[in-house]
Amino acid sequence: MLKFLYIFFLGVILAFFVGLGIEAFYTSPKAPEYPTELQYNEKTPSQMSAEDKQIQKDYDKSMADYQKVAAIHGRNTSMIAVVASILLLVLSLTILLNSSILTDGFLLGGLLTLLYAIIRGFESDNSMYRFALVTVGLVIVMVLGYIKFIKLGKNKGRRR
């Protein structure tokens, strides 16, 4: 039971390590704050003064600019996370292969990081990119499943 808890904890910590590492070195853009002049303003757009309308227009423009930047950031973050996921998965199936606990922990960490990458990819406003990202995730999981459970499983059975 302790072995499974350790594997799970290692996987989760690796995913957090990647996610927080990306955020530390490639910080998310900050959303613009809604103008305080308009926060408690209960006027309809037709009742707003020209100054308030200009403040709202400026805010709407800054929010649109932010959304464009945030979509690019989400796409880039997901790309970085996919690369990190692949590295963790390659480590789990090569260098760490002799230690089943580390192999399984890195394997779980790589899969959780891949899930994180897909979630961040959904922040992108490009549906083709999102589809490509999910396709890459599917291929990685299928290849990984083949290597881990079929190919390596056969080799373990032959050694005995």
pLDDT at 93 over 90: no
- Residue 152's pLDDT is 72
148: Cβ–Cβ under 8 A, 6 or more apart, which residues?
93, 107
Across all residues in the chain, what is the average pLDDT? 89
Q: Retrieve residue 93's tokens.
A: 């199936």
In a domain, 69, yes or no: yes
- Residue 159's pLDDT is 47
Q: What is the CA radius of gyration of the chain?
A: 23
Domain count for the chain, please give it.
1
Owning domain of residue 119: 2-25+52-159
pLDDT at 105 over 90: yes
In a domain, 39, yes or no: no
pLDDT, tens digit, 9 for 90 and up, residues 43-83: 677 777 888 888 889 999 999 999 999 999 999 999 999 99
Would you tell me how many other CB atoms lie within 10 Å of the CB of residue 111? Answer: 21
Quote the pTM value.
0.83
Distance CA 5, CA 11 (A): 10
